[in-house]
Amino acid sequence: MTIQKDAVEILLAELEAFGIANDALHTERGQRMLNITRDTGELLAVLVQARSARRILEIGTSNGYSTLWLARAVQALQGAVVTVERAQDKFDMAQANFARACLQDVIEQRLADAGQVLQDSRDGAHDFIFLDSARSQYGAWWPQLDRALADGGVLVVDNATSHYAEMADFIDGIRGDARYTSCLVPVGKGEFIAVKSA
Ligand SMILES: C[S@@+](CC[C@H](N)C(=O)[O-])C[C@H]1O[C@@H](n2cnc3c(N)ncnc32)[C@H](O)[C@@H]1O
């Protein structure tokens, strides 16, 4: 039996190879793709489907690898992803990838600082937030993240094991917040998952 790979699957595999080769070549952060791992993408897709999340916010687009996982999952639910990136070159790379995947109708790209986007977000605007960006800012962003996350919403934070020390206060603060149920999942670089009570 021949199994046909869809266009998104082919693009994901291509981006994985590109990300590994590119990031091995460059040490400067701005030139690296810093993509999530494939199993993290699978986890995100499962969580989006399990939560029936239709209003997704991603902070940290890079070239759009993780966005593709979110977009493909949310497409089946007739939802959409807003993804935020402040670097023009990454924004442009992601835009080309979204067009190639024919997922541009499901994805709204914002070329902006995430702090400003969060500031401008309506209360409870998102039922799923994926945080993969400037880790040193997470603590300062928390009041807005908390406000923008809907009741019953899911927050996923990447690098929670690989860079735990950089966000320990942020993670421990959520762990201590009675409104949130959370866990640290040993997938990829460590995914901290917190669900806000409904
Ligand atoms: C780890 S990469 C994102 C990788 C992406 N989620 C993926 O897995 O394919 C982090 C991205 O966040 C962007 N970024 C950093 N600080 C930001 C900020 N304050 N606002 C918006 N984007 C920011 C960086 O330019 C970088 O492209």
> What is the full per-residue pLDDT of the chain (198 aa) written as tens digits?
555 568 999 999 999 999 999 999 999 999 999 999 999 999 999 999 999 999 999 999 999 999 999 999 999 999 999 999 999 999 999 999 999 999 999 999 999 999 999 999 999 999 999 999 999 999 999 999 999 999 999 999 999 999 999 999 999 999 999 999 999 999 999 999 999 999
* 92 lies in some domain: yes
Determine the pLDDT at residue 4: 59
* 113 lies in some domain: yes
Atom number, ligand 1, closest to the C-alpha of residue 115? 19
Please give the single-letter amino acid code of residue 48.
Answer: V
* 8 lies in some domain: no
Determine the pLDDT at residue 1: 52
Q: Name which residue sits closest to atom 16 of ligand 1, judged by CA.
A: 134
Domain limits at 99? 36-196
CATH number at residue 188: 3.40.50.150
Cα 183 to averaged position of ligand 1 atoms, centre (Å): 23
Atom number, ligand 1, closest to the C-alpha of residue 30? 25
Cα 55 to averaged position of ligand 1 atoms, centre (Å): 19
* 7 lies in some domain: no
Buried b (16+ CB within 10 A) or exposed e, 53-84: bebbbbbbbbbbbbbbbbbbbbbebebbbbbb
* 3 lies in some domain: no
Counting the structural domains of the chain, the total is 1
The strand pairing partners of 43, in sequence order, are none
Determine the pLDDT at residue 3: 56
Contact 122, 148 (CB under 8 A): yes
* 101 lies in some domain: yes
Q: Name which residue sits closest to atom 11 of ligand 1, judged by CA.
A: 60
Determine the pLDDT at residue 95: 98
Cα 132 to averaged position of ligand 1 atoms, centre (Å): 6
* 17 lies in some domain: no
Pocket of ligand 1 (CB under 6 A): 34-36, 60, 62, 65-66, 84-87, 90, 113-115, 132-134, 137
* 188 lies in some domain: yes
